[in-house]
Structure 1
Amino acid sequence: MTSIDSWIEAHARFTPDKPAVLFDGEVLTYRDMARAIGSVAGLLRERHGIGRGERIAYLGTNAPDTLVLLFAVARLGAILVPLNWRLAPPELAHAVSDSGARVLIHQPAFSDTVKAMAAEGTLPECVSADPGDGGLIRRAAGHVPVSAGAAPGRADDALLLVYTSGTTGRPKGAVLTQAAVQANALNAMHMQGLTSDDTVLTVLPMFHVGGLNIQTTPAFYVGASVILHDRFHAETVLKSISADRPSVTVLVPATLAAVLAHPAWSDTDLSSLRLVATGSSDVPRELMGGFVGRGVPVLQVYGATETGPVSIYQRLDDAPGEFGAIGRAGLHTTARIMINGREAETGEVGEIELKGPNVTAGYWNRPEATRDSFHDGWFRTGDLAEMDAAGVYWFRDRLKNVIISGGENIYPAEIERILQGFSQVREAAVVGVASSRWGETPVAVVVPTSEGGCDQQTLLDQFDGRLARYKHPKSVVCVSALPRNALGKIQLDKVRKMAEDALSSETASKKA
């Protein structure tokens, strides 16, 4: 296998005038995209000295730049570090520093964020590129292009360095090679039957592998077209489905809920959609049922940042009879369920482990974390499921304590570490509480240092600027002590019950 930028070169030969990316009224054909990739690769090499293995960080909402940059980086054998623009400046600064990025490319809308990041430590060279005036693609025009034949990129080169928090809450960079991205694309094609006739609507952020790799990069493998939105808005999604006629899209539970709740939902023509893919958590059946009830099949996909993510999934023929399942092990992925070192029997709940060319090569500069996450070559997901007699996997719970809110992973340890730095807090535990809108929201259960209790709003206000807003606890519950077992370990199931009871009582008193 050659570098994945060869996908675009091939389609530029076969279908040069076909739209590759449609964004904000502009069309980038496959010929245009191939030229832009060469020019951006030339810019990166000539002006910034980027070569194999060097890292380029990108901070911005979805734009053609994101995709052209990905393939240009692949051509050079370099590594793209897509940054989650929802994170707080200290978190972003850590990712840039930890990755050793040589260049930080950002949209002007994030200039203040970049300034705040600089206050956390030295940043690499920063380049501002505005998608509104042609962005990085326009800046690169005129540079001597790096041709595909003369480029150093290879299949085994690391391509993506995507930061994901572990159970400790400390961000780790998962490394995905070019070969892993291609294996993921093959899984995605098999899952969804993607062809060059498809039009993909991408509305999820491409700093996530979900937005980038469930449909978007696979679309470029098959020569499909991608309608790109800078970010998710329910109204814009519905208008695009009606006007642009996409055939497939990906929506996580929070975005499914927002679309279903929009006043235009019932009147929107969905006839162009042949499927909607969803995942990222235990997807409520009523959300999937909203689309299914209007004749649009919904396919569940299971995976993680470390697996591409497409690993276990449903296909169109299987989904109706397996409603609520996450599917079968993918075409290029092997899966198993393990319990205490043995493979589970049919119907037993255990941890999902995955193996395949789509799986991460490991964590950036974290050999210990890499070793901990693998068992005899199998990636340990930390998620619990059972497999039925037909080989279908059914998600049951999360072994790790991750909270999934609106499709975003929130790790309690991150929040707890900040709480422990507050003078009003003696100890704290953070749990996820069910939310009809977000799936779950984080709630902090706190033992205050003062017998007078704690002021909820004062504690919540102290998270500003320290942690991404979506990670902030939505409520604080003050208690006299946290429940622990005989070994002194906090019993999170009891903490969750305390939080739920306190919030229910608070709601009841407001209604009274």
Structure 2
Amino acid sequence: MTAADHPLSRRLAQVLALAPDSPAIEFDGSWHSWGALARAAHGLRDRVGSPCRIGILVRNRPEHVAALLGVLLAGGTVVVINPARGDDRTRADIAALELPLVIGGPGDLDTLVAHGAANLAITGLRTPPAANNVAPQSDCAVVASAVAVRMLTSGTTGPPKRVDITYDMLARSVIGGDPARAEAPIEPRRGVAIVNAPLVHIGGVFRVLQCVTEARPFVLLPKFELDRWADAVRRHRPGAVSLVPAALRTVLHSDLTAADLAGIRVVTSGTAPLSADDADAFRAKFGIPVLTSYAATEFGGGVAGWTLPDHERYWSAKRGSVGRTTGGAALRVVGADGVELGPGESGLLEVKPGQLGPNSDWIRTTDLARIDADGFLWILGRADQAIIRGGFKIMPDDVRTALESHPDVLGAAVVGRADTRLGETPVAMVELRERHSAEPGALADYLGTRLARYEIPTEIAIVAAIPRTPSGKADLAAVRAHFDADTVPGRA
């Protein structure tokens, strides 16, 4: 079976043909039909031709959704390229990939793709013209036909890397269970979803493909912006929305009321840690439970999460957990010697993702975790981000959570900085809530009653906005670079 014959590709074709005149994507105030999306996707499939690795300079636009679908309909591999990483880095990335074709908006292609390289410009949901500079016999011999998306990781601590997501993994993630279920008959769904996750991140790809495989219309936002998101929520009243922690805190500390969010029964949140206090504050303000989850690009999606029944029964006793296994995953915690630890013991988390099938190997993560006797998972922090200050171990997430509990703080990021005497000390970058103010000294005093003295940052920098990755996580490499640019006597 070729990738073009995969049940997922056939499911996409089935949905695109279901109801051509029905609305599919709302973007910038206008609706585009399933028929328009289908024509654009099939047109791109025809332009792609043979299954190839096709680069897409991805932005949250309807034609970029069509490009994603078109490559998958052709059985090719989508190589995700982020045009917002900086022109020089993106040009170098494209050159190193040696792709037979790059798809993108005209402006991105003109700026980022070398003159004479094969490219295909897309603007709006219309059948694209023939690709430029493509040789009659394009070299597609380097295709890994089982790979659907070569996805960028979030690049929280360093340069993003690419992870291969196979057609089977995508099918298990967006449809569930056996990929063969992708061919089950389907009827168009009622209700409108909201997609604000970026397509350069796996969360955005999953959300879009979930909507398409369910034949569910959706609002596509260029990025999360409070006013645009709130307007879409008021107009369409979705039953569920997904918010990364940074976006959830923006909503929590906004002037929005429970009436603005009427209709939402549940909020899901992942990609980064969310404190139990924030989850409880969100429910107290809006009356909506927050279901956190644990996922990674390498897993092909989520491996643990809260369900609503579990939340109603266990949250008060298990608050702060990211839930129990989902999607057929298996979890365990091991010690430094690789031996599995018992319930409640802390160690490194290992995962067998359900998306990889029943015979997958254990994947060791760098996350410190514990699993209780009922199977609930707590993520305690990244082992490779622990700060050792004069022999004392500091977990950055503990410091970040304490800072974010301050009423004036919208978000925080904590990293270690080299110190000639102590080895490392914690430093923090803080973003304040709109129309609020706080001084670094006052924040340090606030932490004095919540943390050990050695955990309190030696420097707190208040900034207009914390640099973030496309997935909404703090860009720790950029945060570290901010502090490394300082010169302070006695520090390496």
So what's the TM-score if we normalise by structure 1? 0.67
1:300 partner SS: strand
2:197 partner SS: coil
1:2, distance to aligned residue in structure 2 (A): 2.3
Q: C-alpha distance in 1, partners of 2:385/2:148?
A: 29
In structure 2, relative to structure 1, the CA distance for the partners of 1:222 and 1:376 (3 Å cut) is closer
Alpha carbons 2:170, 2:355 under 8 Å: kept: yes
Match status 1:352 vs 2:349: yes
Which residue number corresponds to residue 19 of structure 1? 23
Alpha carbons 1:179, 1:357 under 8 Å: kept: no
Q: C-alpha distance in 2, partners of 1:162/1:71?
A: 15
Match status 1:247 vs 2:244: no
1:3, distance to aligned residue in structure 2 (A): 4.3
Q: C-alpha distance in 2, partners of 1:376/1:332?
A: 11
Alpha carbons 1:442, 1:472 under 8 Å: kept: no
Which residue number corresponds to residue 472 of structure 1? 478
Alpha carbons 1:446, 1:479 under 8 Å: kept: no
Q: C-alpha distance in 2, partners of 1:109/1:95?
A: 17
Task: Determine which of 393, 400, 410 is the counterpart of 1:437.
Answer: 410
Task: Determine which of 245, 260, 274 is the counterpart of 1:269.
Answer: 260
Deviations 1:58-93 (A, max 9, x none): 224201122222221112221112223331234323
Which residue number corresponds to residue 107 of structure 1? 105
2:84 partner SS: coil
Task: Determine which of 190, 193, 205 is the counterpart of 1:200.
Answer: 193
Q: C-alpha distance in 1, partners of 2:122/2:344?
A: 52
Q: C-alpha distance in 1, partners of 2:240/2:129?
A: 32
Q: C-alpha distance in 2, partners of 1:291/1:187?
A: 29
Q: C-alpha distance in 1, partners of 2:91/2:384?
A: 26
Deviations 1:146-174 (A, max 9, x none): xxxxxxxx997201111237899354310
Q: C-alpha distance in 2, partners of 1:42/1:441?
A: 48
1:326, distance to aligned residue in structure 2 (A): 0.9
Which residue number corresponds to residue 84 of structure 1? 82
1:344, distance to aligned residue in structure 2 (A): 1.8
Which residue number corresponds to residue 287 of structure 1? 278
2:238 partner SS: coil
Alpha carbons 1:77, 1:159 under 8 Å: kept: yes
In structure 2, relative to structure 1, the CA distance for the partners of 1:437 and 1:100 (3 Å cut) is farther
1:346 partner SS: coil
Which residue number corresponds to residue 381 of structure 2? 397
1:180, distance to aligned residue in structure 2 (A): 0.5
AA partner of residue 28 (structure 2): D
Match status 1:334 vs 2:321: no
Q: C-alpha distance in 2, partners of 1:63/1:402?
A: 39
Q: C-alpha distance in 2, partners of 1:385/1:313?
A: 14
Alpha carbons 1:200, 1:224 under 8 Å: kept: yes
AA partner of residue 247 (structure 2): T
CA RMSD of aligned residues (A): 3.7
Alpha carbons 2:9, 2:75 under 8 Å: kept: no
Q: C-alpha distance in 2, partners of 1:258/1:335?
A: 32
Count of aligned positions: 391
Unpaired segments ≥5 residues, structure 1? 46-50, 142-153, 190-194, 361-374, 404-430, 448-466, 484-512
Which residue number corresponds to residue 42 of structure 2? 38
Unpaired segments ≥5 residues, structure 2? 131-142, 179-187, 388-395, 404-408, 421-468
Which range is displaced more, 436-445 or 217-226?
436-445
1:212, distance to aligned residue in structure 2 (A): 2.1
Where in structure 2 are the equivalents of 1:124-163 lying within 5 Å? 124-130=117-123, 134=124, 137-139=126-128, 157-163=146-152
1:273 partner SS: coil
For CA contacts below 8 A with separation 6 or more, give which structure has more relative contact order: 1
In structure 2, relative to structure 1, the CA distance for the partners of 1:445 and 1:344 (3 Å cut) is same
1:227, distance to aligned residue in structure 2 (A): 1.1
Alpha carbons 2:293, 2:322 under 8 Å: kept: yes
